[in-house]
């Protein structure tokens, strides 16, 4: 089925199984994957005894990109934050400037990368992906001198176009943060762990905080499916949003290695953040370095790796520039 034939917004109620990952199923998955998995008790603590329709709520990204959005993909890069005078007027890196074989923004500005948060049962990954991309780009543009932690809750509660805890498209989310922005995390901390979504308020929960919205630069939204262009943009400005397919075995992933789907049914699509790339020297394959929103008990302290082109990981990568 072609992308444009599918509805733009989907419900996460599509259920591939009526039962959670039982201990028996856990052992089966563990025996058939080539990566480390978390202990079953930790898995239950993180995801609980949930049916798959509930596990879907840990995802929440609608990967379905319209043909109109695909046509807007561009490779223009208006300025560079890592190094000066390396971008030409055409948006390409100037001759003599090369993209490294491996790159991780945490190596340059670790102060911009606090431990990944857990979105809980709410399918709000679209908000976590977009807000972290924007706040890390703000921090990087400021050479790591300041970090405005942005509110995922404000996006979930106040964007009338999204489906709250039942997902949204990344495109819609970036349109919202370019038009309206979001306040600080201290102003509106995340509270939708259990699917409850407070109404939109134009004031801070923490009354000592000023209500200020931080916006992305209007018209700066950029998207690409070209690996080289993604690398250039990521290297130039900071982390980018993307989506990927998720499967049963991914929920058990607890490893510093590269995640590859081996066993289990698809659970949905999920929005995450690309922060860099590297090379698996064993098989000479490149991978993206990714930040998740399932907390630090999952993956490699909340981060993980996926090979280029696997699981639709770089089919539509996007981001906006911070308005600072």
Boundaries of every domain in the chain: 16-319
User: What residues have CB less than 8 Å from 21, skipping those under 6 apart?
Assistant: 29, 43, 47, 248, 251, 252
pLDDT score recorded for residue 21: 86
> What average pLDDT does the structure give for the chain?
84
Give the tokens for residue 298: 């999952």
pLDDT score recorded for residue 61: 67
What pLDDT band is residue 19 in, cutting at 50, 70 and 90? very low
Sequence-distant contacts of 53-57: CB under 8 A, at least 24 apart: 53/12, 53/13, 53/14, 53/15, 54/121, 55/20, 55/251, 55/267, 56/12, 56/13, 56/14, 56/15, 56/123, 56/267, 56/268, 57/12, 57/121, 57/122, 57/123, 57/165, 57/166, 57/195
Higher pLDDT, 273 or 65: 273
Tens-place pLDDT, residues 30-87: 999 999 999 999 988 888 766 655 655 566 666 555 666 656 655 444 344 444 334 3
**What's the rounded mean pLDDT across residues 86-106?**
66
Higher pLDDT, 21 or 85: 21
Please say if 292 is a catalytic residue.
yes
**What's the rounded mean pLDDT across residues 258-287?**
94
Query: In the chain, what percentage of residues exceed pLDDT 70?
Result: 79
pLDDT score recorded for residue 70: 59
Please say if 270 is a catalytic residue.
yes
Residue 145 has pLDDT above 80, yes or no: yes
Query: In the chain, what percentage of residues exceed pLDDT 90?
Result: 69
- Residue of 52, 248, 42, 214 lying closest to 133 (CA atoms): 214
**What's the rounded mean pLDDT across residues 96-121?**
92
* Catalytic annotation, pick one of 59, 172, 292, 314: 292
Q: How far apart are CA 209 and CA 188, in angstroms?
A: 9
Higher pLDDT, 3 or 100: 100
pLDDT score recorded for residue 73: 59
pLDDT score recorded for residue 259: 97
Tens-place pLDDT, residues 212-264: 999 999 999 999 999 999 999 999 999 999 999 999 999 999 999 999 999 99
- Residue of 275, 262, 268 lying closest to 302 (CA atoms): 275
* Catalytic annotation, pick one of 139, 270, 314, 318: 270
Q: Which fold has domain 16-319?
A: Cathepsin B; Chain A (3.90.70)
Taking the complete model, does pTM exceed 0.85, yes or no? yes
* Catalytic annotation, pick one of 62, 118, 122, 125: 125
pLDDT score recorded for residue 300: 98
């Amino acid at each position: 089925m072609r992308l444009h034939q599918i509805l733009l917004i989907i419900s996460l109620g599509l259920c591939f199984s009526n039962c959670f990952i039982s201990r028996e199923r856990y052992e089966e998955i563990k025996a058939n994957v080539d990566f480390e998995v978390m202990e079953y008790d930790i898995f239950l603590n993180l995801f609980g005894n949930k049916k798959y329709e509930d596990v879907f709520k840990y995802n929440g990204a609608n990967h379905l990109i319209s043909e109109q959005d695909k046509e807007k993909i561009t490779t223009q890069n208006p300025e560079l934050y890592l190094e000066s005078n390396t971008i030409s007027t055409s948006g390409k890196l100037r001759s003599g400037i090369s993209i490294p074989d491996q790159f991780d923004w945490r190596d340059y500005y670790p102060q911009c990368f606090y431990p990944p948060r857990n979105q809980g049962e709410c399918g709000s990954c679209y908000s976590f992906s977009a807000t972290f991309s924007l706040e890390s780009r703000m921090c990087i543009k400021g050479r790591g001198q300041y970090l405005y932690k942005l509110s995922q809750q404000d996006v979930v509660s106040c964007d009338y176009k999204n489906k709250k805890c039942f997902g949204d498209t990344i495109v819609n989310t970036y349109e919202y943060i370019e038009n309206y922005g979001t306040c600080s995390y201290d102003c509106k901390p995340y509270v939708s762990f259990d699917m409850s979504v407070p109404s939109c308020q134009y004031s801070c929960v923490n009354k000592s905080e000023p209500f200020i919205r931080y916006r992305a630069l209007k018209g700066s939204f950029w998207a690409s499916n070209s690996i080289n262009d993604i690398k250039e943009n990521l290297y130039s400005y900071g982390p980018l949003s993307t989506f990927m397919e998720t499967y049963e075995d991914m929920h058990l992933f607890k490893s510093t290695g590269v995640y590859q789907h081996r066993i289990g049914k698809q659970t949905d699509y999920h929005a995450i953040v690309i922060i860099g790339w590297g090379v698996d020297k064993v098989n000479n394959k490149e991978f993206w370095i990714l930040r998740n929103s399932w907390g630090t008990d999952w993956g490699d302290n909340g981060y993980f790796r996926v090979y280029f082109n696997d699981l639709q990981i770089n089919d539509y990568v996007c981001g906006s520039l911070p308005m600072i």
